[in-house]
Amino acid sequence: MDLGLFDHIDRNRRRSVVLIVGAVVFLVALGGILGKASGVTPWGGMAAAAVIGLVLALIAWFQGSSIVLATAGAREVSRDEDRELVNVVEEMAIASGLPKPKVYMIETGAMNAFAAGIKPEVAVVAVTRGLRERLTREELQGVVAHEMAHIGNYDTRVMILMAVIVGSVAILSDWYLRSMRFRRLGGGRKGGGKGEGIVILIAILCAILAPLFAMMIQFAVSRQREYLADATGAAMTRNPGALADALEKLGGAGVRLETANRGTQHLFIVNPFHLHQNWNTPFASHPPIEERIRRLRALAGTRAPRPA
C-alpha cells in the first residue's frame, strides 16, 4: 500500500534525522579512537574532530554556494534573458512561501538541476541548458518545485553538514595513517604491549574504513532527502505527474554532466555520472529513478507505466 503524501514526508524526515545524528556520533567516536591510538587521549581526539568539523563548517557556511556554482560553471540568469524560467522560479517560490532564489544556468547539453544555500534567504537554483530546452513548462515547474523543496526543507543545509562530516572523517583518517608511517620510520613508540597493539590495529582499520562508512551515511541521507523533495515538490505544484514525466526524460538522457564531481553529485536532482541509475546500493547517491517515478505516479493516482 502506498503511503500518503504527508506520510512520505514525515517518514523520510525522521529517517534523515536519525542518519544525521548517527553521522555526528560516528565522527566524534572516530576522533576518540584515533586519539587513544595515537597516544593523545580519547577526549583530545574528540576535540580535534570537533575543531576540524567546525573549520570546514565555517568555510561551507560562508562560501559553500559560491564554491558549488563555480565548480559547476554556472552563471546567473536575468529575467530579460529567460523570462519563462525566472517566472517559474518565482511561481514556485510563492507556492512554497519562500524568498525567490537567484537563478543560474549551466551551459551544457546534460539534463540536470540543483539547489544550494545555507538558508532560504541566500539560496540559488541552477538548471542546465539541456534540461531547460527539453522540458515542458509543467515539467520545469516540477523540477523547480523539487529544488525549492530542498531549500524549504533545509536539505541544502543538511547536505552541507553531511559533506563537512565526510570531509572531517577523511582528514582525521588521513592524518592518522600518515602519522603511523612517520612513527614506523622513527622507530615507533616504546612500550604498550599487546593491549596497545590491539588498539592500534583497531584504529588502523577504522581509519581505512571510516571514510567509506561516512560516505555511505551521506548517500543514505541524500537518498531520503530526494524522496522527501519529490513528495514536497508534488504538494507545491499539485501535479506529481509533471515531475514524474520530467524524471523519465532525465533518466533517459545520454549526456553526462562533466562539471560535476564526487563532492557535489548528491546535490543534483539525478546522479550526474550514472545517468540510468536504477539500482539501490549503499553507495548510490540517489534512489532509483524508476522507484521515484512509481511513487509520484501513485501520488497522482495514476498507474506507473510498465518498463519497456
Enumerate the active-site residues.
147
- Spell out the residues 6+ positions from residue 154 whose beta carbon is closer than 8 angstroms to its own: 119
Cα gap 255→19, rounded to integer Å: 32
User: Is residue 133 within a helix (H) or strand (E), and if so which, with residue range?
Assistant: helix 129-134
Angle (CA) 218-221-223 rounded to 5° is 110
Cell of 180: 603511523
Q: What is the largest CA-CA distance in the chain?
A: 73
- Spell out the residues 6+ positions from residue 85 whose beta carbon is closer than 8 angstroms to its own: 77, 103, 105, 127, 132, 140
Cα gap 177→170, rounded to integer Å: 11
Cα gap 104→108, rounded to integer Å: 12
State the angle between helix axes of 240-251 and 193-237 in degrees (0 to 180), rounded to the nearest 10: 120
- Residues 179/38, Cβ–Cβ less than 8 Å: yes
Count Cβ neighbours within 10 Å for each residue of 217-236 and write b for 16 or more, e otherwise: bbbbbbbbbbbbbbbbbbbb
Q: Read off φ and ψ for residue 124, nearest 5 degrees.
A: -135, 155
CA-nearest of 227, 175, 264, 167 to 2 is 227
